[in-house]
Amino acid sequence: MVTAEEIEKVAKLMRIEMDDHAEYIERVKKMLGYFDLLDKANVESEEIDFTIMPIENLRKDEFIPYDEKLIEKLKNYKGTYVRAPKMV
CA pair distance 44, 20, nearest whole angstrom: 38
Is residue 17 within the footprint of another protein (CB under 8 A)? yes
72 alpha-carbon distance from chain centroid: 26
Is residue 1 within the footprint of another protein (CB under 8 A)? no
CA pair distance 3, 50, nearest whole angstrom: 32
> CB of residue 76 vs another protein: minimum separation in angstroms?
6
12, containing H or E segment:
helix 4-13
Is residue 21 within the footprint of another protein (CB under 8 A)? no
Nearer to another protein, 79 or 85 (CB): 85
Is residue 52 within the footprint of another protein (CB under 8 A)? no
